[in-house]
Each structure stands twice: as C-alpha cells, then as structure tokens.
Structure 1
Amino acid sequence: MLRDIFSKRRKYATITNPSSSTSTEKKEIPEGLMVKCNQCGAISYTKELEKNLKVCSSCGYHFSMNAFERIIATLDDGHFFEYDSEMISVDPLSFPDYPEKVEKDREKTGLNEAVLTGEGTIFGYPVVLGVMDSRFRMGSMGSVVGEKIYLAIEKAMAKKYPFILFSASGGARMQEGVLSLMQMAKTSAALARMSEQKGLFISIMTNPTTGGVSASFASLGDYNLAEPGALIGFAGRRIIEQTIRQELPKDFQTAEFLLQHGQLDMVVNRKEMKNVLGKILSIHSDRGDE
C-alpha cells in the first residue's frame, strides 16, 4: 500500500506513428526516451541520437549541444583542464531578479557561467578551448563571459597554443548593460594582440550566434567555421526587414547564406568537425611528424 502511494510515476509523451495511414494512431512512450527532429519530424531514440553527436540521421539537422558534450566530442578522450572555474557573475546594476535567475541557471546546467574555458589536445595538438552554452542565460555575454574568454586568449598567447572557440549566444547580456557591451572591445583587442603575435584563432559558430557576440570575437577568427543551419547574425530578421522595407531571402542569416556571401570559410558537419580542426592544426603546427 505505502509502495503504491509513494512510488514515482513515469512521465509519458504521446507520439503519432508516422507509418500509420491515419493520424489518429498514437503511442505512449516514456518521456525522454525518444526525440522528434525539429526539421524533418523523424523520431529517434535519445541514446542513438547522442551516439550520432546529436545529428539527425534522417536529414542531418544539428540539435544543440551543451558545453560538456561539445568538449567530449572535440578533445582527445574528452580530457579537459578547466580555467577560471570559480568566476561567477555579480549584479552590478541591481537588476530585478537577476541574481536569482543566474542561480537557477547554475543549478540547471551545472555551470557557473555561460562559457567553459580550458585546455586539452586534438589529435595530440595542444589547444586552448572555449565553449559557450546556450542553456545558461541563452549564452549571453556578461562581464564574466567576456573576462573568461579574454583570459583564455591571454593563456593561449603565453603558451603559444591555438585558441578555438565554439560560440552559441543570444548576444550581450542586458542585465549588465554597458558592462556587457564593453566585453566586445576587450575580447576583440585581445584577439588583435594575438594576431600580431602570429597566434592562431579558430572561431566556430553554432546555432545561434547573434548580437554582440557575432559582432565581435565570433567573427574574428583566422578561420571562421560554422555548423550546418546555424543562425548567425546581429539584429533580428524582422527588425532588418522593417528598417530596409524589403523582404529578406528565406535562408538569410543561416550558415549556408553567410558562406555563399563570403563571411565564412567553411560550413562543417559536426561529425567532421574534429577531423577538420585536426587538419587545420596540422597545417599550422611545427611538429615534424606530419
């Protein structure tokens, strides 16, 4: 009796069977067991999708990845030495509910901020790596995000390692006002110094990379790469259309559109990203075994 009262009830999701001739045939499936593709509607087992690096096997749609998944997919054996893990945001403008929202994101994501920085290796080549996570305040760039990226650039210069950054952001963090906008100049200036020292910066834009992030460090790579279908741009589509009073192409602000118009060097499938990074690193390496 007590077991019946306190036992946890499994949540179920109702999914229409796509092979059925009628749309009324549905199946009750435990929630989280399967995922529906946002692009083609195909149903995949969650575990199989994760094995496929969260790329739909039917249409190639790239689901979002969190920072931990990205690190495991990119670095050798997922080995990662994190930098500046203790840095956390404060509330410089006393913005209503901001501290509470940040704390909820910490609990939800297991992160202290919207970016992880550190070092590891890719096919044996040492790199400094930054990975933004859109689950934390939509990957917005506040003072801590800017500072962590700035310090990672400084570390890459000191160690003479390439710097690789995966961007995923809605832009500057409104709750920190001009302090967040200042991070655009700070990170861009650090990358300019890195360029003067002949350092290598590889920027990889994922879905979405927008606002002040796209207008600063995300677009300043020696190599600017992106994942297929990624939304990349500064202002929103509707704002631009209202301003110029013209209808924009359907694929406007997609990675493919930017590649076609010369703003990207490559659009790279996630499953090929590590190999492409390895080739770029080998080109710029002094290692004599290539």
Structure 2
Amino acid sequence: MQGFTVIDLIILVVYLGAVLVAGLFFAKKDMKGKEYFKGDGTIPWWVTSVSIFATLLSPISFLSLAGNSYAGTWLMWFAQLGMLIAIPLAIRFFLPVYAKLDIDTAYHYLELRFGSKALRVLGALMFIVYQVGRMSIIMYLPCMVLASLTNINVNILILIMGVIAIIYSYSGGLKSVLWTDFIQGSVLIVGIVFALIYLMSSIDGGIGAVFNSFWTEHKFLMPDQPVFDANILRDSVFLMIFGAGLNTLGSYVSSQDIVQRFTTTTDTKQLNKMMRGNGILSIGLATVFYLIGTGLYVFYQQNPLPPAAA
C-alpha cells in the first residue's frame, strides 16, 4: 500500500462497519408505507440539517474545493454564498407550501399544481436518470482515489460501498439514511477541522501566513477578477453568488434527495431550522476546505518537494 498504512486500513474497516451497524440499529423498528420513506417523526431537525449538508457535499466537492484554492484563488468560494439567496427564498416561498400540502415527493407537487399524473411521472423519471449518472461519479471518484492508496481493485471498492449503503437503506428506510448521514457528516466536520488546525500548526506564521498570501500572491482574488461584470460569459464574484444561488435553490425545492428530508416534518419552524443549519454548515465547511487548500499552497512554498517527488 502506498501511503496507506495498516492503521489506516483498520480505521477504514471500523468506520464502514460502524456506519453499517448504526444504520441497522436505527432500523430496529419495522417501518411500512409512508413511514419508510418519510421517517417516524422522531428525527431531530439538526440530524436532518447535517444530512442535507452531507447530501449536497459530494465526494467531488470534498476532493475539489481545497484543490481550487491550492491551484488558483477563492473565486469559486463565493458560490457558497449563493445560499444566502437560496435559503431565504426557499423558506419564504417553498417550504410553507410543502408543509401545508404534506407532499410525498417533489414531483407530487407537480401533479397537485398542474393536475397531471404524466408530469409527475416525467419529473420522477428525469430525477432518476440524473441520479444514476450522479451516483456513478460519486461512487467512482472516491473509490478511484482509495484504490490508488490501497491497491484494491476499484470495482471491488465500489461494490463494498454500494452493498453497505443498500443494506442499511433498505433495512431502515429514510430514518437509517438520515442517521448514517449524520454520522458521516459529523466525522467529516471533525476531520477537516482537525486537518486545518494541524496544517496551520505546521506552517511558519500559521494562519497569518495564509492570510498574507491573499494579498502578496493574490490567492484570494486575482487583480483582474471583477466583483461585477456586465459580460455574463466572464467569471465575476456577482455571477458566482447569483448563479450558484439559483442553482442551489433548484436543488432545495425540486431535487427529491433534498425534498425528501423536508417531508420528515410539517412544522415550518423545524424546516426553517434545517435550512439555516445547513447554510451555516455549508458556508463554514467550504471556508475550511478553502483555507486548507491555501494552507497547503503556503506549506509547500515553505517546504518545496524534491524534484523527483514533485
């Protein structure tokens, strides 16, 4: 194994086993009908909030956010601020409707709104096609990285991960999914915060050196990167915030993997807490990822790799 020790392997196996056991534990109670897809009403809002965060933050984001700031600037970070547009709009105009109608899926609303069963089926089919493609990438990318570290065949890793997810999802329905999401999201949060603290302690000058690189090496924004540009084909801070805000709003109100979390309660206060909690987590953790990326850049400026290693 290259860069992957026996201890790392033990931690990975224990973690996967713990996720499976936790999922099965919360599946102890038999769930039937809508309870299987909407939970049993006992799931706290903060668990669902972390679950939404974990759902939106795919391994693609996990592997790319730090890379953006390492190789470039923080321009893409402003896309996270799109939530400041998406969350208020979702809370004001969409969540009250979902709570009032007590819908089962995002596409159930289409049928109620337009009186068309065919439109509901079409929406569901489009979502399924999209998710099949998305899940393929989400499963393949981290397994490819893990395969390069462990020398285990990538197809075997995909099979293991997929089987574990299928077992606890099938056994406990949405309740198991939410709690396992919460566990995985919590591990991610603790892990990257620890990684940031460890990295900052390894840099001469600590976080001050990272902030200094914002100005001296333009790691925050390049001088030619505008805050606003009338040319929408050119990247700008405004375009990142506004465009990402509309895109995130679309996910919040029409993507079943997110809307299903909203169906766990009809209490608008709980729904609002879910949304605000998810926004805080998403912006906060994205900031940590970007700090890690810039921190790695500063670290390797101070400690250059040998030519062969580089």
TM-score of the pair, normalised by structure 2: 0.22
Which structure shows the bigger proportion of residues in strand conformation? 1
Indicate the structure whose relative CO is greater, using CA pairs within 8 Å and at least 6 residues apart: 2
Which structure shows the bigger proportion of residues in helix conformation? 2
